[in-house]
Structure 1
Amino acid sequence: MPPPRSTPALQSIRPTRKQVPRAVPAAPATPVDTAQRIIESITTAIVERRLMPGTKLAEQKIADIFQVSRTIVRQALHQLSRDKLITLEKARGARVAQPSVEEARQVFEVRHMLESSMIRRAALELTPAHIVRLRAHLEDERSAVQRTDVSGRTRLLADFHVVLASMLGNDTLADILRDLLSRSSLISLMYQSAHSAEHSYAEHVAIVDALERRDARAAVQLMGEHLQHVEHNLQTLPRIPDLESVLRPEK
């Protein structure tokens, strides 16, 4: 007879613990990231006319606001200087640029040339879906104007032009317009009045109506008249705000 088989001893099997993935800590911001954040904050404040031409940008004050070194602040200010948004002078330090009358004329001359060509092409190429998106943007503009949301309406009224360029798939044109719109905001030394904001919104509506009809001639004419009105409505009274209240990041 074959020898009896031994029964294998039972082994307790411990359930394996489910491995919970550890949260990966966010990478610390690099000096380049921090400098870019300062650049974007100052640029936005200029575009929204919360920082007016001539406003002094004290390095130490900005360093305290963003809790960074003055070296990083200096990097950001040098980039803004290259973008013509601020001026750097040894005796006076950094200040928001104050474009001359001739600079203002040149900026709007370039905008006329670029945007006339852009709007003519838009009248031929934009799809019904693009028009729907433009109508949604116009609704945001209208709401901001009605709420007297000065910074919101200023940003949205400017973004209208960049949105058009983006819809044409031309990122370079959109970037150029962003720069020109930032400099256009510098040219105006006061917040846009509620009346002129309403006027700009109404002109945007008329432009989109022409685009929807694919009426390139009317769209070009309306855009030209719109830019003339914006240039004509420039104000000349400065308003110097408190730097910390403008730039301090929200909690």
Structure 2
Amino acid sequence: MGSTTQRIVASITTAIVERRLMPGTKLAEQKIADIFKVSRTVVRQALNQLSRDKLVTLEPARGAFVARPSVEEARQVFEVRNMLESVMVRRLAAGVTPAQVAQLREHLKREQAAVQRTDVSGRTRLLADFHVVLARLLGNEVLADILQDLVSRSSLISLMYQSAHSAEHSFEEHVAIVDALERGDARAAVRLMASHLDHVERNLRLDPRVPDLEAALTAP
């Protein structure tokens, strides 16, 4: 039963991150049970897990729906991130070491690999982790923890709305930021980070389409 539950969780998660199931889509228990030929109890277990992962919202007397993250909240998160990360890269540019640059280059290699193989969840995690890695290079764990929380609060929206094209663009902007840090060019690093966060925020667009549930979950 556990493996069946995980199969349903994986199918719904993939459908969400690949934008085949959009925010607000109703996830009818019986229909999902029919699609996967399982009991509603198994489906309910899967939906409960997805709810804990914040991908699904469970509403009393209404059922389960694909989560509808607040874009306004994301906008506020990006505003705070811009404030913090501008100071962060300015300080980092003043004292980054060759070993730290090498660490960032290694992270960029993993980002590039995830983008090229269209690993949606992997690329989303790595693109987000880049910002936390920068914070940890300063040796300020309080800043790193705060930024981790801010990145986590915006990651669901990035996961759900970032296209492969915008992910590739984010990677390229990360490369430019590291290039500026390696040169010790604080002004360019701050400008590039602000531009990058602005681009990520502007690429988070809601789409009101609600596709057929069975077609989304059984797509090849």
TM above 0.5: yes
Q: CA 1:45–1:133 in structure 2 vs 1: closer, same or farther (change >3 Å)?
A: farther
1:193 pairs, out of 153, 156, 164, with: 164
- What residue is the counterpart of 1:180 in the other structure? 153
Matched, 1:232 2:202: yes
Matched, 1:143 2:113: yes
- What residue is the counterpart of 2:68 in the other structure? 98
Q: CA 1:143–1:57 in structure 2 vs 1: closer, same or farther (change >3 Å)?
A: same
Q: Percent identity?
A: 57
What's the offset of the Cα at 1:77?
Answer: 5.9
SS at match of 2:57: strand
Q: CA 1:175–1:155 in structure 2 vs 1: closer, same or farther (change >3 Å)?
A: closer
SS at match of 2:133: helix
- What residue is the counterpart of 1:129 in the other structure? 99
Q: TM-score normalized by structure 2?
A: 0.66
- What residue is the counterpart of 2:3 in the other structure? none
- What residue is the counterpart of 1:113 in the other structure? 83
Count of residues in Structure 1 that have an aligned counterpart in Structure 2: 203
1:141, 1:201 within 8 Å by CA — same for their partners in 2? Answer: yes
SS at match of 1:99: coil
Q: CA 1:47–1:78 in structure 2 vs 1: closer, same or farther (change >3 Å)?
A: closer
Q: CA 1:73–1:192 in structure 2 vs 1: closer, same or farther (change >3 Å)?
A: closer
SS at match of 1:236: coil
Q: Deviations over 1:175-205 (max 9, x none)?
A: 31341332432662xx5133x3332222111
The structure with the largest alpha-carbon Rg is 1
Gaps of 5+ in 2: 1-5
Matched, 1:153 2:126: no
1:104, 1:187 within 8 Å by CA — same for their partners in 2? Answer: no
What's the offset of the Cα at 1:231?
Answer: 1.8
Distance 1:46 1:86 in 2: 12
2:118, 2:164 within 8 Å by CA — same for their partners in 1? Answer: no
1:49, 1:185 within 8 Å by CA — same for their partners in 2? Answer: no
- What residue is the counterpart of 1:218 in the other structure? 188
Gaps of 5+ in 1: 1-36, 246-251
Q: CA 1:119–1:73 in structure 2 vs 1: closer, same or farther (change >3 Å)?
A: same
SS at match of 1:53: coil
Distance 2:85 2:116 in 1: 27
Distance 2:95 2:29 in 1: 47
2:86, 2:193 within 8 Å by CA — same for their partners in 1? Answer: yes
Distance 2:16 2:93 in 1: 27
